[in-house]
Structure 1
């Protein structure tokens, strides 16, 4: 254990949960941010390995007061937040651009992109006071290889990725890093839902053939990239995106 503490926003989702479990190998305490599923957050806290304390905290990304309270409570509980992992997301279908309604754009942008800006606004001053810290932001491979029907997800995440690079450039002098992880087709969370409900099995089999490694990823594949970037092993890496897609985007 590093003696440091992390905060995972969206810890009850498929990728957020896996990220928290991976981070538990390196961090002594992890604040598990959730919006409504307290039972899942408490169950996750109970399953983290000995030596790492999982601490559930409600963190509603649409409510700045909730974010402020959650961050302050995590700092009060652990004494510091050394890494902030942003794994929050909205359940999104796969409409084409011509089919997306205004309220759909608003929901995703409000939760994912504006939610991130609110988290950053609360955590940046803390990182500056501490003399450092780092962000790891989950985005999407669709910003590198666009699959039709993914605009509702990828457009806000392009903004999130740009924000991460801006933080890296502007805040590096304060010892603050920001990096991104871009998952490809992952059999976890929303990706698992798509694999079960979207398209036919033969279409998914043809998709596998477009992947260099010829198989879909899992949540642990993404979580290990998150763990690396959140750790001191990535101390000289900032403003970068690790694409975890098995070679899908090549």
Structure 2
């Protein structure tokens, strides 16, 4: 068992819920962060082993610092310590080319994802420092290593999240704090699952599948297992790194 509880920001999404299920047995408890639907968070809790005995739902709106601070405080009050904060939240976006992206779209993804992550870090760091342990794991994107046209809205803020993760690793390691990232490829879960059915034609997706070394798209659990590893004590000497989970798509 790892020390403390896990707070999963974005725990009701396709990837977030898979991460919750993967982490459930390894931590003292889970705090499942949601923005608009407590019912969805409860559904995730009901799928966990032992369910509500070791999990709570916490409101966590990335646009409001007070909401994030309250989520962190509730998690600490319920479980005593926070061992990891998982950032798995994001904006439901389309796939426009750069020439088609308006300023309001840039502002939305940067505000929710990048600025939202800075708020999560600001809220959690004081607790991690006081404990002398804790780590962040952020779900980013393989697009920053192998860019598919139309993915700028997703990849640009996540590149900032990666840079901030490395900064945390370098500056906060003296306090026993780690920060790592997981970069999924084409995953048949969450927004990725929607894209597979609504974006492009089956022929295009088949061509993409053949580009993958392992010749199949990933599942939510593939990403969740990588997140669970980096959050755990098994990765205690790993920090500032990005683990690419793409089946070899970026090779």
Which TM bucket (shorter chain)? over 0.9
Separation in 2, partners of 1:243, 1:218? 14
Q: Does 1:86 align with 2:79?
A: no
Shift of 1:50: 2.4
Q: Is the 8 A contact 2:28 2:79 kept in 1?
A: no
Residue 170 of structure 2 aligns with which residue? Answer: 169
Q: Does 1:74 align with 2:75?
A: yes
Residue 183 of structure 2 aligns with which residue? Answer: 182
Separation in 2, partners of 1:146, 1:205? 18
Residue 239 of structure 2 aligns with which residue? Answer: 238
Q: For residue 82 of structure 2, give the secondary structure of its aligned residue in structure 1.
A: coil
Unaligned runs of 5+ in 2: none
The one-character-per-residue Cα deviations of 1:13-62 (angstroms, maximum 9, x if unpaired) are 01110001101121120000000011110111122112861100000000
The one-character-per-residue Cα deviations of 1:83-121 (angstroms, maximum 9, x if unpaired) are 000000000100000000111111111100000000000
What pairs up with 1:42-81 in 2 under 5 angstroms? Answer: 42-50=42-50, 53-81=54-82
Q: For residue 196 of structure 2, give the secondary structure of its aligned residue in structure 1.
A: helix
Separation in 2, partners of 1:15, 1:58? 18
Q: Is the 8 A contact 1:187 1:219 kept in 2?
A: yes
Shift of 1:74: 1.2
Separation in 2, partners of 1:43, 1:119? 24
Separation in 1, partners of 2:88, 2:144? 17
Return the TM-score normalized by structure 2: 0.98
Q: For residue 191 of structure 1, give the secondary structure of its aligned residue in structure 2.
A: helix
Q: Is the 8 A contact 1:46 1:54 kept in 2?
A: no
Q: Does 1:123 align with 2:116?
A: no
Q: Does 1:18 align with 2:36?
A: no
Residue 41 of structure 1 aligns with which residue? Answer: 41
Q: Is the 8 A contact 1:91 1:190 kept in 2?
A: yes
Unaligned runs of 5+ in 1: none
Return the TM-score normalized by structure 1: 0.98
Residue 136 of structure 2 aligns with which residue? Answer: 135
Which structure 1 residue ranges, 4+ long, deviate > 3 Å from structure 2? none
CA RMSD of aligned residues (A): 1.0
Separation in 2, partners of 1:101, 1:218? 32
Separation in 2, partners of 1:222, 1:2? 19
Q: Is the 8 A contact 1:139 1:160 kept in 2?
A: yes
